[in-house]
Amino acid sequence: MNNHPQDNEEAPSSFSDLSRQVTASATTITGTVVVVDRVHQNTPFSPEKNEPGTVKKASDRPTFDLEPITIGEALETTAISVADKPVDSNDAAAIQAAERRATGGVEDRRCGRLGATAQAAASFNARAAQDVTKITIFDVLSDAASKLSQDKAVTSEDAEEVRGAELRSRPEAFAMPGGVADTMAKAARVNIQDDTA
């Protein structure tokens, strides 16, 4: 018999008891479901036990200081959202605009220069014969945050400039769902909501 510290604690008698003690909320950001679990106080799984009859005030609950979403993180989200999409000139323009906004226009030759890489990928893809050989969004934007010499939180101004760059030569008047401009806009909205919460 294993003697674990939790063996002395009362465990839920069924899954339904456990499900009353744990709640989950989910939100969808750019097609990716993000689940947040919360374990309620007074459960055998909670590290802190309340004495019977004690009342916890809302101010006693732990708070989380969430960092705003950065441009690099938004680009990495795009890499996941539309991973297999071949890079085109609209994507390259949006990536270049995002990099300019993140770095304040400062070029750092030691980094991979994300915008230049995206432009080279778009040029290559325009000449490539088959999708199999094309360079994808994932190829360019995976690990984007580490490829930027500087990074900053996404603002609505950043999102608008990136959207303008992506749409400049696109015949459709909307940003590609899950693409750079769309993801930046969603990140800016999340950051604004976090600031007001």
- For residues 150 and 104, the answer to whether their CB atoms sit within 8 Å is yes
Percentage of the residues of the chain whose pLDDT score is greater than 70? 61
Which tokens go with 165? 């760059």
* Whole-number pLDDT of residue 108: 57
CB 101 within 8 A of CB 189: no
Neighbour-count burial for 83-122, b at 16+ CB within 10 Å, e otherwise: eebbbbbbbbbbbbbbbbbbbeeeeeeebbbbbebbbebb
What does the pLDDT look like over 176-185, one tens digit per residue?
Answer: 999 999 999 9
Which of 55-69, 102-116, 157-171 is modeled with the greatest confidence?
A: 157-171
Find, among 2, 172, 166, 16, the residue nearest to 95 by Cα: 166
Q: Tokens standing for 47? A: 């590290």
pLDDT digits (tens, 9 = 90+) for 44-76: 434 444 455 554 454 555 555 578 999 999 999
Q: Which residue has the higher pLDDT, 37 or 156?
A: 156
| Residues composing the chain | 197
Structure confidence at residue 194 (pLDDT): 72
Chain-centroid distance of CA 62 in Å reads: 23
Mean pLDDT (the chain) is 75
Vertex 124 angle, CA 123 and 129, to 5°: 120
Exposed, middle or buried: residue 128 (CB in 10 Å: 0-12, 13-18, 19+)?
middle
Q: What is the mean pLDDT of residues 11-27?
A: 43
Q: Which of 3-7, 52-56, 133-137, 182-186 has the lowest mean pLDDT?
A: 3-7
Which of 28, 69, 95 shows the shortest CA–CA distance to 189?
69
Q: Is the pLDDT of residue 40 over 90?
A: no
CB-based burial, 21-40: b 16+ in 10 Å, e otherwise: beeeeeeebbeeeeeeeeee
Q: What pLDDT score was predicted for residue 190? A: 93
> What single letter denotes the amino acid at residue 156?
S
For the ranges 37-41, 50-54, 84-88, the lowest mean pLDDT is seen at 37-41
Q: Which residue has the higher pLDDT, 185 or 169?
A: 185
Tell which wins on pLDDT, 98 or 49: 98
Is the pLDDT reported for residue 132 higher than 50? yes
